[in-house]
Amino acid sequence: MNQTRFIQPIVYLCVAWLGFTSLAHAEKKVEQPKRALNDVHERLESLKKELNESKEAHKDAADALKDSEKAISEANKKLYEIAKKQQANKETLSKLQQDSEKTNQALAQQQQLLSSQLYQQYMHGEQSYVQMILQSEQPSLIARDIHYFSYIAKARTETIRKMQANLDKLNKLNQETAAALQQVAELKQKQIEERRTLEQQKLAKSKVVKSLSKQIATQRSEIKKLKRDEKRLAQLVERLAQAALAKPRLSKKLSSKPNTDNESAGQNNQKVIASNQTLPSDEVTGINFSALKGKLRLPVRGDVTNRFGGNREDSGVSWKGLFIRASEGAEVKSVAGGRVVFADWLRGFGNLIIVDHGDGYMSLYGNNQSILKQAGDAVRGGDAIAYVGNSGGNASNGVYYELRRQSKPFDPLSWSNLN
């Protein structure tokens, strides 16, 4: 009896101690994931701040790249104009050479005439015309002789004057030709050097943009993963708080993180939908655009890498046109006659040119390296309007090509002949 009274308090103490120990153990289990959750919160906020800073830097770099691409476009346009000026100078030079040949021929004739006159004078001896007249045996012929010798003197003077004028003209033509050629050569060399500098600047800025884009993508991926971790931890904390005496399997569940990442791959593995080798021509100029369905040619030689209306891999948004992968620097042709209504840099499209074909039909050409026309210019089918590039931050060289009617896009392939 006394032994039972002695043991009973000890049992109560043991039960109380076990209860307290279990509660402390449970609270410890809750505290661990709470600390982990706080760490995730802090890391997430830090990453968001870094992401915002990266976005600002990316915007600045993209703006700088835009300025470089516009400057390169302008430099290439100047070189294009210089090439046309060189051609005009070649034609002028050809004409100057013809004039020079004619002048040389005239000089030769005048030299021959002067030689003949001098020879005649030599044959008559050194006596003067006055002596010859005074010694004339027939005074009635004096007036005729005076008139004759006066004519000879005037003819000789005129011959010498023409020779001098032609010599001066020939010398001036040679000077003008040399000056024109020198001026164009210097201008072209200056433009080439300027374009080389701009290309180097563009390359450096493009590397910065790509690096920042990669950094932003990494930060976004990490934020996405941390948000998933945060959600799982928050759910775990909630469950542990509701079940203070959770079983040990919860700690095992905490330590194991299922990998649910499913990053898209193969974005650069572009499939070729169609290939084009035939360029637009002047044959379609003057024909109503609505009558050209099935007769248009794509604006550049290359490979079509997407279908109209298909989802874009980078955003999931549907394609409103075609991307034609092509060689950098190749000429982009207008698919039909019309008038340029836009020729400038536009975010997402780079150097963009839009041609109005009438009746609400328009064609758009984006991602160009350089624009060769300006708003208001009239173009014919097959005219060069731009050079192929990757402006606007595009990864590949090519042309983004759209057709629209009343501002609504429609499938360019269904209007094109690839044969």
| Domain 1-257 -> CATH class | mainly alpha
pLDDT at 340 over 80: yes
Instruction: Find tokens 């700088």 and name the residue.
Output: 64
More confident residue, 376 or 227: 376
Region 83-110: mean pLDDT is 76
Mind listing the pLDDT tens digit for each residue in 292-315? 999 999 999 999 999 999 887 755
Instruction: Find tokens 């070649």 and name the residue.
Output: 90
Mind listing the pLDDT tens digit for each residue in 201-235? 777 777 777 777 777 777 677 677 666 755 665 56
Q: According to the 3-state scheme, what is the secondary structure of 120-151?
A: HHHHCCCCCHHHHHHCCCCHHHHHHHHHHHHH
In the chain, where the domains are located: 1-257, 274-415
Query: What does each C-alpha distance from 78 to 305, 332, 393 come to in angstroms?
Result: 32, 17, 23
Identify the pLDDT of residue 191: 74
Query: What does each C-alpha distance from 275 to 272, 294, 305 come to in angstroms?
Result: 7, 16, 9
pLDDT at 246 over 90: no
Identify the pLDDT of residue 276: 94
Length of the chain measured in residues:
419
> In this structure, how many other beta carbons lie within 10 angstroms of the beta carbon of residue 396?
13
Mind listing the pLDDT tens digit for each residue in 274-285? 999 999 999 988
pLDDT at 24 over 70: no
pLDDT at 131 over 90: no
Enter the CATH code of domain 274-415. 2.70.70.10
More confident residue, 254 or 180: 180
Give the closest residue to 24 by CA, choosing from 346, 245, 271, 186: 245
Mind listing the pLDDT tens digit for each residue in 138-158? 656 656 666 666 777 677 777
- Residues near 48 by Cβ (< 8 Å), separated by ≥ 6? 223
- Residues near 288 by Cβ (< 8 Å), separated by ≥ 6? 358, 359
Mean pLDDT of the chain: 75
Identify the pLDDT of residue 132: 55
pLDDT at 366 over 80: yes
Identify the pLDDT of residue 128: 52
Query: What does each C-alpha distance from 357 to 298, 351, 381, 388 come to in angstroms?
Result: 15, 20, 10, 22
Question: Which range, of 88-102, 113-127, 265-279, averages the lowest pLDDT?
Answer: 113-127
Identify the pLDDT of residue 139: 58
pLDDT at 102 over 50: yes
Question: Which range, of 43-47, 332-336, 401-405, averages the lowest pLDDT?
Answer: 43-47
Identify the pLDDT of residue 106: 74
Identify the pLDDT of residue 266: 33
pLDDT at 347 over 50: yes
Backbone φ/ψ region at 367: left (φ over 0), alpha (ψ -120 to 50), beta: left
Which residues are bridge partners to 267 per DSSP?
none
